[in-house]
Amino acid sequence: MATPLFHDGLTVHTQSHDYPIVITEKAAIEHNSMAKLITPYIRGRQVLIVTNDTVAPLYLNALEKELTDQFTVRVCVLPDGEQYKHQSSINQIYDVLMAAHFNRDVTLIALGGGVIGDMTGFAAASFMRGVNFIQIPTTLLSQVDSSVGGKTGINHPQGKNMIGAFWQPQMVLADMSTLKTLPARELSAGLAEVIKYALIMDITFLDWLEVNLPAMMDLDLAVLGDAVKRCCQYKADIVAQDERESGVRALLNFGHTFGHVIETHEGYGNWLHGEAVAAGMVQAAELSQRMGWLTAEDVARIKRILTLANLPITPPRIDTQTALSLMGHDKKVKHGQIRLILLKSLGQAVLTNDFDEDLLHEVLLQHLV
């Protein structure tokens, strides 16, 4: 087997258990290497691979073939898209598990992006009250964010990710070579989450991104691998402190309260998650500016890097009362009060309900003009 051009990793420490993130290149195209990397983390002899009809033609056959030599393997191929992240899809996973007479020794493998990872993790958390699962994220967004930290779940018509569980994987395999088959729009959506880490945690990473973003967009896998490791380390450090999002972990949702309003209002899948988060980060930054925490140049800098990543910086037209109502379903609402992640400065985020609601209304209204 050829030596990968990029191979690195780190460990996520949680109260549940510790697990590795392996960040590599060419695992999907080098014979047997993807299966070899995950096999040590498969419990028992039963395996269910959950994927979608976009990813399956690319990577499923090789993985299934190699695992079949050692395990009893079944496959569940779901439709691709955020609009299918619901209970009916979870039931399809259960149906395959039940038909195969799989038990608590089964390992579920999520082969796909964030939607597949979230649903597979939720199915693993709930089938027989909890079974093993492994994440093989194939999109940039899932590699840097959703595959790490154990947040799993599905959407409800009135709110995104409102039904789910905290359930940590046994390992995460992030193969940079899968990004070669990722559509440009999906790559940009992933870059929104990468930029988010810089804005909330590390201004030096923002400086790095402003230099290296063009190489990432040109699919320089070594640079992408470096960025993925940085983001995973940021998230691992936070998850180690706050596995179940009772405190500091909420900061990772910068832009998400506004973004989830967009996704829910516009219909799941019409705006990609990263696109909605990008526009949501701009709204959060604009509110931070109105509160005197960011300068106009700070907000302009945020808009510039998002635009460079081919991401939207303006939300769709949404009635203010509708937006506020949807915000009321956000998981960060506490004692009936909306809490937002805002920026004290570039690289420093804060979770607060201490904001002027009139200023929030101004931010929501300005995009109706």
Please list the active-site residues.
129, 151, 193, 235, 245, 249, 253, 256, 260, 273
Six-digit token string for 158: 């009135």
Token readout for 132 is: 């093993």
Measured in whole angstroms, how far is the alpha carbon of residue 61 from the centre of its chain?
Answer: 25
C-alpha 40, offset from chain centre: 25
For residues 122, 124, 130, 134, the Cα torsion angle rounded to the nearest 10 degrees is -120
- Residue 9, exposed/middle/buried by CB under 10 A (0-12, 13-18, 19+)? middle
The single residue listed with the structure tokens 């929501």 is 364
Residues 3 and 153: their CA atoms lie apart, in Å, by: 36
Tokens in use for 102? 């799989």
**Do 236 and 246 touch, CB atoms closer than 8 A?**
no
